[in-house]
Structure 1
Amino acid sequence: MIPLAGCGRKKLEHSYDIRMGLTRMNAVSVSDVSGKHADGFSKGLALPDAKQAVGADGLTAEAALLVSNEGDDPQVLVSKNPYVRTYPASITKVMTALVCLRHVDDLQQEFTVTQNSKITVSGSSMAYIHPGETLTIEELLYGMLLPSGNDAAVAVAEATAGSVDAFVEMMNETAMEIGATGCHFVNVNGLPDENHYMTPYDIYLTLHAALAYDAFREIVGSVHYDPEYKDANGMPKKQEWTVSNKYMLGEVETPDGLRVLGGKTGTTKAAGYCLTQATEKEATGEEFISTVMKAKTRDDLYANMTMLLEKIH
């Protein structure tokens, strides 16, 4: 778990103005990594009303969003403060994974962990990888997304871009390219910083983009992963990593007829308890993306998420 520590003295008091974001998007040339121009960032994406809550009665979390993830005209089923700036905590790692997958073709490439992966923040969630150990980039992604390793997130960034600073620049560039113009990143793992934030709508856009990669789906859809790699002395080492999503662990009941495909949790004192995930309607195969931000307790988080999922018919 990321430490329950504050994100600085400043409070995120203002909602993001989606009109300002649309203006910014119109001012830039949006393209993917292959150089093909996008048809428009909003094509095939839902656009919640900035002023009016939708189906949010009973939700106690600060913000929430439930969107169908199908077809050219996806629908918003539930919306509460979709453009408010929130601290994303470890949900940040969805963007970290997306940037990696956009730029790394061979996930079996090996990377030797550096001293920069030594995280000293008390209570920080870790994959317990150490400097000098050699893992594949795929294994690092598992270590980042299942046990939410802040150390693994640094390694993913360095393996992708050569440095964390260069990778963070890529995160902010990618956010613009996918239309997530209400967010700003200063690190790769979501450790507390007042200048590091995402709106629920940004989170939806990021998860939507990440789900386009089969490797991402496979990783976040795993409950357990047991990597075998080399330690700093070249000796074999084994680990056991487990996902933190309580639906996937069977600790919270998923509403009938639905299957959680995977996603990411996040927790800090300032962020509260957060979760974004993709869910499938088993009878039809339809997919939905749901996000709950800043619930007061873990129980409240899953109660709010279950309320969202029960809106799927």
Structure 2
Amino acid sequence: MRAKSTFMKSVYRHRWLYIMMLPSLAYYAIYKYAPMAGLVIAFQDYNLMDGLRNSPWVGLKHFRDVFSNQQFFILLRNTLLISFYKIGFGALPDLLLALLLNEVRIRWYKRAVQTAVYFPYFLSWVIVYGMMLMFLSPGTGLVNYFLKDWGFEPISFLTSNDWFRSILVSSEIWKDVGIGSVIYMAAMAGIDPQQYEAAIMDGAGRWKRMWHITLPGIRNVFVLLLILKMGSILDAGFGQIYVLYNSLVYDTADIIDTWVFRRGLEQMQYGYAAAVGMFKSVVGLIMILGANQLAKRFGGNGIW
């Protein structure tokens, strides 16, 4: 009874914090956890007219169909390659931009740069695609205009298997680098200013202060973001790819999510799509648990 009373007092003392948490908890409960009841579709021959209760059970049939399909492994390869490219090439630009902005002392210039690099994050991929057509179109694109002016043949960037993955990675970096740097700048704001003052007194320049104080101070944040990205390694950015890709680049751009969208919604094979979705969730859980353990083994804090 005493423990219960202490717990209730603690809840009442922090009641406003719990109230502030309610919208986030409601979001995850409604949109993340409640739909998990639909995972039973992966074990059913689901039919819209019969519903969850009356659809016949087929056991692991959909999983066997998925893993016996050779196309699935091509899609898995494309998904992993695109995700690793995005993680590998996209991890450092956010950090570098935050480090550079942190060293700017002219406030109006810093704010102008921040506004310019944050703005693309709020654009939809449909708008970004329209902008890319203006620059990369083989007939009227600005890039190809300069290529032809310099004596080169125009390149169809958006329909070329050689270029499409590079376009995906570079466009995502351009779009998300600003918002990613916000997280690092918030972490830098939490570093004790006295450390910088002591380093200045010892004669350390900007580069040494950055190397010995700033980077160690945000190391845990970098590791945390890397772990979270590893957990979504089989996502690869459905919204971006679905808007940008076309049938000419299926060999390099078709990923698990776009394939599931076509099979699950367009062809109404809901059980098949649910089986692939469950596979993705299990792999994501394994990856995030493994990355968390590796982070702890190499001296990081991990997520928990």
TM-score (norm 2): 0.27
TM-score (norm 1): 0.27
Structure with higher helix content? 2
Q: Which has the larger radius of gyration?
A: 2
Structure with higher strand content? 1
